Structure 1
Amino acid sequence: MPALNWSDIDTVLLDMDGTLLDLHYDNHFWLEHLPQRYAELHGVSRAMAELELQPLFEKNAGSLNWYCLDFWSAELNLPIRELKLETADLIALRPDADVFLAAVRDAGKRVVLITNAHRDSLSVKLERVALAPYFERLISSHDYGFPKEDAQFWNALQADINFDPARSLFIDDTLAILRSARAFGVAHLLAVRQPDSRKGPRDTQEFAALDDYRTLLEGLG
């Protein structure tokens, strides 16, 4: 990964799930816990639960609905926020993410969280991990009505916080979102090589990949 030229960066935009937080919590919830609880609460087999859930997941992937707890609660007739609390002990920071956040904040950079997570999901995580003090703003794409994959999200973000994309760093674990940011003109982009600590590293394709937050601190001061 090439060293960052921090003198060219004023604003640091950060994703949450898979970037600052270990994606294991979300993967476990949606792929293991939710199908099991769906089966129990609807009186079907686990295999049938997965058969019913999979086409719904595929249909909504990448849309705002995909990230919306209200949508899934209504669609599945389940209390999704309450179910997420059942596995909240799995919510965890990625190694040294807090060290990075503190250093960037102390260096005087603007630090803004931009997440596709629903506000209810965000609140569940902030109750477990003290992220809020590091950020100037905590922005959910639900505030704007568009996911980060959509160009309209970036227009809304620009109107909201008035940042210079040419002098901004954005870190995210989703390649489609990084491509959306690049199309908007965000100049400094990093993917995350291993967003889920229980799964292996991923191919981040055309994007430089973050392995260790401490490596980003060189030249920051």
Structure 2
Amino acid sequence: MKIETDSGANLESVDWTQVDHVLLDMDGTLLDLAFDNDFWGHRIHEKYAAIHRISVDQAVAQFEPLFQRVAGTLSWYSTDFWSQQYGYNITDHSRDYATGIRWLPFAKEFLHALRHRGVRSTIVTNAHPDIVNLKNEVTGITDLVDRTISSHTVGYAKESPKFWIALRADLKFSPKSTLFFDDSPSVLSAAVDFGIERSIAICHPDTTRPKRIHVSSWAIDNFEHLTASLSSKGQR
């Protein structure tokens, strides 16, 4: 079976007997990126603007060069770094909007299906541990996987080859029998370069925005079909 949609999702059904480890991004893969896009794209600037009595547009313009400069590094994802830059506690502020944290369609069911079939699962995220803890408080997400690893504890962002070297040394996974899911093209490219050929793009990470068109060799809109394939008779 081949899955095709107008977003470029093209993943053929998986032979789960050939998979022993699934690596998963958190935001935009398992959890709806709508929360992050709203918070990081608007709420942090809104609060800064209110504190300094400037417009939100002025706040965005002030910080845009810094965001561009640290893109793809740990600083981009660090609540400690941005708390210093904005002059208030970013994690505390994010709690004010925690009701917006929610699962993507079929993501929770997919994790349950992986566990039921005995497939090892690990969340690998660029999110700061403070944000991981907040999202776990709301969703209980870390209880549904074998491990959760933040790139901040590894010392390199997922965009860096050094992240994948360190991750493999820790998890002892085989790239050939591993699936990796993420919504970031740059992270997916880094994983493919490392040798995880089945690095699968998520085409609809934010349910409030249109689906993305991915040119990846492997892509899905959501986990509906893969959850069904895990639950099918004859699978491991």
Task: Work out whether the TM-score is over 0.5.
Answer: yes
Match for residue 191 of structure 2?
181
Q: Secondary structure at the match of 1:13?
A: strand
Structural mapping, 1:24-63, within 5 Å: 24-63=34-73
Match for residue 64 of structure 1?
74
Match for residue 23 of structure 1?
33
Per-residue Cα deviation, 1:50-75 (whole angstroms, up to 9, x for no partner):
11121111111111100000011112
Match for residue 74 of structure 1?
84
Match for residue 151 of structure 1?
161
Match for residue 139 of structure 1?
149
Deviation at 1:169, TM superposition (A): 0.3
Match for residue 110 of structure 2?
100
2:151 pairs with 1:117: no
**Structure 2 gaps, min length 5:** 1-10
TM-score (norm 1): 0.97
Q: Secondary structure at the match of 1:84?
A: helix
Q: Secondary structure at the match of 1:112?
A: strand
Equivalent-residue separation in structure 2 for 1:85 and 1:41 (angstroms): 18
Equivalent-residue separation in structure 1 for 2:21 and 2:209 (angstroms): 30
Equivalent-residue separation in structure 1 for 2:222 and 2:71 (angstroms): 28
Q: Secondary structure at the match of 2:186?
A: helix
Deviation at 1:167, TM superposition (A): 0.4
State the one-letter code of the partner of 1:11. Answer: H
Query: Does the 8 Å CA contact 1:167/1:187 hold for their aligned counterparts?
Result: no
Deviation at 1:218, TM superposition (A): 4.4
Per-residue Cα deviation, 1:24-60 (whole angstroms, up to 9, x for no partner):
0000001111111010122222221111121111111
Equivalent-residue separation in structure 2 for 1:219 and 1:197 (angstroms): 23
What is the alpha-carbon root mean square deviation over aligned residues? 1.1
Match for residue 90 of structure 1?
100
Identical positions, percent: 38
Deviation at 1:208, TM superposition (A): 2.2
Moved more, 40-49 or 78-87: 40-49
State the one-letter code of the partner of 1:23. Answer: L
Specify which of 3, 11, 36 is matched with residue 13 of structure 2.
3
State the one-letter code of the partner of 2:199. Answer: L
